[in-house]
Amino acid sequence: MRSDLAKRGAQRAPHRSLFYATGLTPEELDRPLIGVVNSHNDLVPGHVHLDKVGQAVGAGVRIAGGTPLEFNVIGVCDGIAMGHEGMRHSLPSRELVADSVEVMTCAHRLDGLVLIPNCDKIVPGMLMAAARLNIPAIFVSGGPMMAGRYRGQDVDVNTVFEAVGGFQSAGMSEEDREELELAACPGCGSCAGLFTANTMNCLTEALGMGLPGNGTIPAVTAARLRLAKKAGMQIMHLVREDVLPRDIMTEAAFDNAIAVDMAIGGSTNTVLHLPAIAHEAGIPLPLQRFNAVSGRTPYLVKLSPSGPHHMQDLDEAGGVSAVMRELLNCDLLDGHPLTVTGKTVAENLSRACRLSDMIRPADKPHRPDGGIAILWGNLAPEGAVVKAAAVLPEMMHHQGPARVFDDEESALETILRKDIQPGDVIVIRYEGPRGGPGMPEMLMPTSALAGMGLDHDVALLTDGRFSGATRGAAICHISPEAAVGGPIILVQNGDQIELDIPNRRLTLLIPEEELSRRQEHLEPPPARVAEGYLARYAAMVSSASEGAILK
Is residue 52 within 8 Å of residue 259, measured between CB atoms?
A: no
Instruction: Count other Cβ atoms within 10 Å, centred on residue 133.
Output: 21
Beta bridge partners of 42: none
Write b or e for each residue in 277-312: b if 16 or more Cβ atoms lie within 10 A of its Cβ, otherwise e: bbbbbebebebebbbebbeebbbbbbbbbbbebbbb
**Rounded distance between C-alpha atoms, residue 200 and residue 171, angstroms:** 34
Return the closest-CA partner of residue 168 out of 420, 402, 390, 440. 420
Catalytic residue (one of 294, 467, 479, 545): 467
Compute the C-alpha angle 264/265/269, nearest 5°.
120
Residues in contact with 479: Cβ distance below 8 Å, sequence separation at least 6, in sequence order:
380, 381, 382, 383, 384, 432, 463, 486, 543, 544, 545
Q: Over 294-356, what HEC string results?
A: HHHCCECECECCCCCECHHHHHHCCHHHHHHHHHHHCCCCCCCCECCCCCEHHHHCCCCCCCC
Residues in contact with 515: Cβ distance below 8 Å, sequence separation at least 6, in sequence order:
378, 487, 490, 508
Is residue 148 within 8 Å of residue 184, measured between CB atoms?
A: yes
Return the closest-CA partner of residue 431 out of 32, 170, 50, 87. 87
Instruction: Count other Cβ atoms within 10 Å, centred on residue 134.
Output: 15
Return the closest-CA partner of residue 270 out of 254, 282, 284. 254
Is residue 296 within 8 Å of residue 328, measured between CB atoms?
A: no
How far is the CA of 305 from the CAs of 163, 167, 252, 276, 459, in angstroms? Answer: 14, 19, 29, 25, 17
Whether 169 sits among the annotated catalytic residues: the reply is no
- Element of type H or E holding 29: helix 26-29
**Rounded distance between C-alpha atoms, residue 279 and residue 365, angstroms:** 32
Task: Give residue 189's region: left, alpha or beta (phi > 0; psi -120 to 50).
Answer: left
The answer, yes or no, to whether the previous bond of 308 is cis (omega within 30 of 0) is no
**Rounded distance between C-alpha atoms, residue 405 and residue 423, angstroms:** 17
- Sequence-ordered strand ranges (E) for 51-123: 67-72, 112-116
Is residue 365 within 8 Å of residue 298, measured between CB atoms?
A: yes
**Rounded distance between C-alpha atoms, residue 520 and residue 480, angstroms:** 18
Is residue 303 within 8 Å of residue 202, measured between CB atoms?
A: no
**Rounded distance between C-alpha atoms, residue 423 and residue 291, angstroms:** 27
Amino acid residing at 60: G
Which sequence positions are flagged as catalytic?
467
